[in-house]
Amino acid sequence: FFQKTLTAVKNWFTLFGWSKGQNPISIPYSLRRDVCKVQMTSSQEKVFKQNLGKDTKTVYDMLFHLSGQLLPGVTSSQLLPLDPVERMLQLHRQHSALLAFLKSQGAYLPHVMPEFLLEPDDYKKWIKVQTVVKVDVKTSDIFSNKHLFILEDSIFETMSKRAWTDVLLQVYKVFVLPRVSSRSITDLFSLESVQNMPRIKSEPLSSNIYSPYERTILTWLNKHYEKNRRTVWKDCQKGEVPPMRWIVNFDRDLLDGLVLAAQLAAYCPYLIATHFVRMYTTPRTPEHFLHNCLILVNAMHAVGLAIGIKV
């Protein structure tokens, strides 16, 4: 499940996360590496400067493209100290600023520590520094041992991959999902056929799982499924018209492919006769679910919506 999520995140941000076209990324390797790319600015100067050439894009460029905001305290000409430890500490501060910025925008990342976003070698330096007792009062906060996680190499890589994936998912949630228009949300249940269905509340505090924008999408899914289920499957070959259902999540309620097929049929009704009539309307076995999802994927391919779609 996590690997499929990572693949979907990587594909979306590769295609749409950057200005001026696609920018292939790997999670977490390119995200960690590109933030840390440096070059000597002068043989006399004891500082390194980030190499932000034409072909180098960082997570900060991606944030600016998606949000229109610069990360507070971090610029494209950020200077990094020559000393490896000082350089690592500055990168840690930048990652801390990144997480604080995302949280201020509504991201939920309590489990992601700044050190999880570092390169493995920098993480080792961070652990080494944290375990050294410091006397200097001015640096006591920096070297506090509070919430210190000492991870083995393989565990750190797993944690770093998960941390970067979750960061990108939250970036999508706070900067992309809000673009979903809610202007017509009050009209979504105006049809007589859906007036008796339970409502999904859009108030910010009505759910501790889904944001208002995600609940808007759930409302949209409910509306189109109930509106189209009788039309799409009135001539179905493998069962009767599917029953009414209340769609309240993005995993279990979408597993059989019927809800997503109803959405696609709302915009591409010509796919009904060629694809959707062959779906199981009351699937009960894994084979039935797979059959439906294969038909749905083929339908998406037919209309050019084949961006990283796998079953």
Task: Enter the DSSP assignment of 132.
Answer: S
pLDDT at 185 over 80: no
Question: What's the confidence (pLDDT) of residue 116?
Answer: 92
**Average model confidence (pLDDT) across the chain:** 79
The residue-averaged pLDDT of 153-168 equals 92
Q: Is 24 left (phi over 0), alpha (psi -120 to 50) or beta?
A: beta
The residue-averaged pLDDT of 279-284 equals 92
Question: What's the confidence (pLDDT) of residue 296?
Answer: 93
CA angle 207, 211, 214 (to 5 degrees): 110
Least Cα distance to 258 among 223, 231, 222, 296 occurs for 296
Tokens encoding 119: 């390169």
The residue-averaged pLDDT of 190-199 equals 54
d(CA 38, CA 201): 49
Least Cα distance to 277 among 227, 230, 245, 226 occurs for 230
Q: Which residues contact 85 (CB under 8 A, 6 or more apart)?
A: 125, 129
pLDDT at 26 over 50: yes
Question: What's the confidence (pLDDT) of residue 162?
Answer: 93
Question: What's the confidence (pLDDT) of residue 39?
Answer: 40
Which of 73-82, 90-99, 300-309 has the lowest average pLDDT? 73-82
Task: Scan for tokens 């808007």, then name that residue.
Answer: 216
pLDDT at 196 over 80: no
Question: What's the confidence (pLDDT) of residue 286?
Answer: 93
Q: How far lies 296's CA from each of 152, 247, 248, 289, 300, in Å?
A: 42, 18, 21, 11, 6
**Per-residue pLDDT band at 90 (split at 50, 70, 90):** confident
Question: What's the confidence (pLDDT) of residue 75?
Answer: 65
pLDDT at 201 over 70: no
Question: What's the confidence (pLDDT) of residue 274?
Answer: 92
**SS3 category, 115:** helix
Task: Scan for tokens 């070297």, then name that residue.
Answer: 143
d(CA 28, CA 47): 26
pLDDT at 255 over 60: yes
Q: How far lies 287's CA from each of 66, 151, 259, 261, 280, in Å?
A: 40, 41, 18, 17, 10
Question: What's the confidence (pLDDT) of residue 115?
Answer: 92
The residue-averaged pLDDT of 72-87 equals 74
The residue-averaged pLDDT of 13-37 equals 83
Question: What's the confidence (pLDDT) of residue 164?
Answer: 94
Percent over 70 (pLDDT), the chain: 76
Tokens encoding 65: 């493209």
